[in-house]
Structure 1
Amino acid sequence: MTDRTFLPCRIAVLTVSDTRTADDDRSGDTLVDRLTAAGHVLADRAMTPDDRVGIAEHLTRWIGEDAVDVVLTTGGTGLTGRDVTVEAHRDVYDKEIDAFATMFTIVSMKKIGTSAVQSRACAGVAGGTYLFALPGSPSACRDAWDEILVHQLDYRHKPCNFVEIMPRLDEHLRRKSCPS
C-alpha cells in the first residue's frame, strides 16, 4: 500500500500513418482506452502522415501547451523508408530516455522473440513534456502501456516514477533567482 495519491497526467495521442483514418485507428484507440481506464486525461488526439517535419511540428505544438504533460505517438518506428517518427522525436528532444527503448525491447522479446529487433521505439523529454514513440500495432501499444507506462506514469509507483520528477523536468529553463 502506498501513501501517495494518484495524480492524473494530461496525455495527447498522435497516430502517424499514411493509410489509417480515425475510423480504423486501432492503435490510437488502444492507447486512449488504456490511459483513460488508468485515470489519466486525454488532452488531445490527432493523426498525421509519415512526414518528419510535420510530426516534429505537431510534437512541438503539444510541448508548448500547458495542458499536455505526455505525448504518445503510435506508428512510424520501423525500418522502412516512410518510418520517420523516431527521427522527428529526436529532432525535438532535450534529453532521450535511453532505457525506455531497452525496456520496450525486453517486453517485446518475451512476446515476439527476435522480431523485437525491428522496433525503434524511443522516448525523451522536451520542454518539460514526456514523449514516447511506440510502434503502430495495437499489441505493441498494449505492451508498452501495460508493462511500462502504466507504472511509470503513476505517482504511486515505487521506488520511483516519471510523475514525481515532472515538476523538475524543465528546471534548467527557469530563470535563476538573484543572490541576496
Structure 2
Amino acid sequence: MLSFLSNFKHSQEMRESKDEILIGELVRAMSRLQAPAVGFYAGTGQQTIKFKPINDPVLNSVLLTVDRKTGGSALSQAVIGSKATVIIQAEVKNYLADPDDLIHMYKTDLANMFKIPMLGDTRLDHQLNSILATKKVLIDIDTYILKGEESANLTTQFLNGLLTELRQKLQPYKKG
C-alpha cells in the first residue's frame, strides 16, 4: 500500500512538473538557435523567458510564455492530456521614430481588430520604437519533453519555424 501511495505521489509531481521541464527544453532549443536566455519571470499559472538573439539582422528580443492549460490532475491528464499555450513574441527595435510610422501604427491597430492569434494569426503591435509580432500556439507538452535528443530536435524545429514566420512578418518594419 505504501508503495502504491509513493508511486501515486511521484506521478502527481511528474504531471505538475511538465511545464517546468518544457521551459528547460525551450531554453535549450533557443540556445541552439543562438538566442541565450536573459530573463526569467514566473507566475502562478505561467512562466516567461526573455531571449536575446545573437547577430540576428531583424530581431532584437524574443519572449516565450508557457501557460499551462490542462493536465494538473490524473483525470484531466488521461482525458485531455497535457496542453499548454506557448506565446512567442518577437521584437524589432528601431531607434529613430519616423512620423510615417504613426500611420502604419494605426493601420496595424485596425488590422489587429480582426486577428485572433489563437487561430494561427500573427498579431503585430507598434510601439514608438518597437514593433512586436505575437503568435499563440496550443501544444501537447508530452510531444516536446522527456525524449532526450528527440525532444531537443523537435523543440528546436518548432521554435525555428515560429521565429522564421515572425521574422518574415517583422522584416518590412526593420530600418537601418
- Shorter chain as denominator, the TM-score bin is 0.3 to 0.5
Instruction: Give the TM-score taking structure 2 as reference length.
Output: 0.33
- Structure number with larger C-alpha Rg: 2
Instruction: Give the TM-score taking structure 1 as reference length.
Output: 0.33
Higher relative contact order (CA 8 A, sep 6+): 1
Q: Which has the higher strand share?
A: 2
